[in-house]
Amino acid sequence: MAHQKENNIKLGAFVLSGLVLMILALFFIGKNQNLFGNEFKLKVRFSNLNGLTEGNNVLFSGLQAGTVKGIELINDSTIEVTMQINSKVKSFINKNALAAIGTEGLMGNKVVNISPVKGFSQKVVEGDILQAKNMANMDEIVEKLSQTNNNVADISEVLKGTVLRIDSSAILKLFNDETIGISLKASLLNVYKTSNNANEMTMALNQIISDIKQGKGTAGLLLRDTALAGTLQDAVVQIKAAGVNASAMTREMNTMIRTINHDVTKGNNAVNTVLKDSLMAKNISLTIENLQHGTDGFNQNMEALKHNFLFRGYFRSLERKKIKEAKGTEKLKLK
Position 70 scores a pLDDT of 92
Q: How far is CA 276 from CA 259, 268, 270, 283, 288, in A?
A: 17, 10, 10, 13, 18
Task: Reduce the DSSP state of residue 40 to 3 states and report it.
Answer: strand
Query: Does 183 score more than 80 pLDDT?
Result: no
d(CA 196, CA 127): 83
Cα torsion angle, 32, 33, 34, 36, sign: negative
Closest CA to 38 of 100, 94, 85, 91: 85
Which range in 24-38, 86-100, 224-238, 295-309 is most confidently predicted, on average pLDDT?
A: 86-100
pTM: 0.36
Closest CA to 94 of 131, 57, 134, 40: 131
Fold for the domain defined by 37-135:
Elongation Factor Tu (Ef-tu); domain 3 (2.40.30)
Q: How far is CA 166 from CA 156, 161, 288, in A?
A: 15, 9, 100
Please give the mean pLDDT across all residues of the chain. 77
Question: Are 124 and 42 within 8 A, CB to CB?
Answer: yes
DSSP secondary structure letters along 127-177: T-EEEE-----HHHHHHHHHHHHHHHHHHHHHHHHHHHHHHTSHHHHHHH-
Segment 75-91 shows an average pLDDT of 89
Which of these ranges, 25-39, 88-102, 203-217, has the smallest mean pLDDT? 25-39
Q: How far is CA 179 from CA 169, 173, 174, 175, 193, in A?
A: 18, 11, 9, 10, 21
In degrees and rounded to multiples of 5, residue 46 shows phi and psi of -115, 160
161 vs 228: which has the higher pLDDT: 161
Position 223 scores a pLDDT of 62
